[in-house]
Amino acid sequence: MTMQHDTRQLLRTALGLLGVGGVAAALMLTVFGGVTMHGPHTDGGWLALILVMGCLPTGTLTLLLAVAKVIGDRRK
């Protein structure tokens, strides 16, 4: 059974969002000076934090939707 085009697109989008969020988190913690109790040390760190806080939850929810769609497609 092949995967439907919209399911494949959902998976691709979810993995892209998670990838961008993961890279931004890694950059925030390493290149941009890390994070303390008061937040990141640099302006780039703050921008990376905003990107992480947007991409990781959205990517996780999109991935859950895609997995549910894959399971639903297999039951048909």
pLDDT of res. 1: 57
- Domain tally for the chain? 1
Ramachandran bin of 39, using left for φ above 0, alpha for ψ from -120 to 50, beta for the remaining angles: left
Nearest C-alpha neighbor of 25 from the set 1, 47, 49, 60? 49
Q: How many CA atoms lie within 13 A of 14 on its CB side?
A: 17
Would you say 13 and 62 are in contact if contact means Cβ atoms under 8 Å apart?
yes
Residue range(s) defining the domain that contains residue 62: 5-75
Instruction: Supply the pTM of this predicted model.
Output: 0.88
Mean pLDDT by 10 residues, the chain (76 residues): 84 97 96 93 95 97 96 88
